[in-house]
Amino acid sequence: MEATKTQIETTKTEIELYVINKVKELRKAAKLSQEKLSLELKLDSSFVGHAERLSREEKYNLNHINEIAKYFDVPIASFFPPKYLETDCIEDYWIKHPIQRQKYDRLHKRQEG
């Protein structure tokens, strides 16, 4: 019998996943539900759950990260890698968002020509 594993496609880049996982670690350590953290951040009650779900588009922006850092009383830098990720995050984004890549390519072509 052959085991099958469904791979979930995500539109989130490696850096976005890094941030999401850091928030999730803090949330779980504080024994907070996704809904409770969403409401504490004055967001829709399902926002944190959607951000943590790989198949959804929602992700944290810098405003969210600042408020999360204040809520947990941690440095904002704790949500980011100590130096940087080796991944080309722009290329990662374009692979996951080909329409954005096409827009960039068209704009770049107009500017060259």
pLDDT tens-digit profile, the chain (113 residues): 444 444 568 889 999 999 999 999 999 999 999 999 999 999 999 999 999 999 999 999 999 999 999 999 999 999 999 999 999 999 999 898 889 889 888 988 888 87
Give me the pLDDT at residue 3, please.
Answer: 42
Q: Let me know if residue 19 belongs to a domain.
A: yes
Residue 68 belongs to domain with CATH number: 1.10.260.40
Structural domain harbouring 38? 14-85
Q: Let me know if residue 106 belongs to a domain.
A: no
Q: Let me know if residue 72 belongs to a domain.
A: yes
Q: Let me know if residue 111 belongs to a domain.
A: no
Q: Let me know if residue 107 belongs to a domain.
A: no
Cβ pair 11, 97 in contact under 8 A: yes
Maximum alpha-carbon separation in the chain: 58
Cβ pair 38, 48 in contact under 8 A: yes
Give me the pLDDT at residue 7, please.
Answer: 55
Q: Let me know if residue 9 belongs to a domain.
A: no
- Residues 8 and 87: their CA atoms lie apart, in Å, by 20
- Total domains, the chain: 1
